[in-house]
Amino acid sequence: MLLENQDLGLSILCRDAVDFHENVLVRRFVLRNARDGERQARLFFHNDFHISETEVGDTAYFDPPPEP
């Protein structure tokens, strides 16, 4: 899916995949700057998890190992 905002001069290419053997969702985002010059951008995500099909205590935690 390609998302574009000409007023901001930004586009985001989104690709999602789900593993059919494991409960894994993989997302890839490519952010493109259509304006001259370098800029900073941040992506914010919101998820509405329903882990074990419940709305109570539906929390996920990701703790990657520190980089060497």
Split into its structural domains, the chain has a count of 1
Q: Is 67 among the domain residues?
A: no
| 4-43 residue pLDDT tens | 999 999 999 999 998 888 888 899 999 999 999 999 998 8
Single out the residue of 34, 25, 38 nearest to residue 2, CA to CA.
Answer: 34
Rg (CA), the chain: 17
What DSSP line would sit under 5-40, residue for residue? ETTTTEEEEEEEEEETTTTEEEEEEEEEE-SSS---
Task: Return the structure tokens found at 56.
Answer: 């109570």
Task: Return the structure tokens found at 22.
Answer: 């494991």
Whole-prediction pTM value?
A: 0.61
Task: Return the structure tokens found at 31.
Answer: 């952010």
Q: Is 49 among the domain residues?
A: no
Name the β-bridge partners of 30. Answer: 13
Q: Is 28 among the domain residues?
A: yes
Please say if the pLDDT value at position 66 is more than 80: yes
pLDDT of residue 55: 67
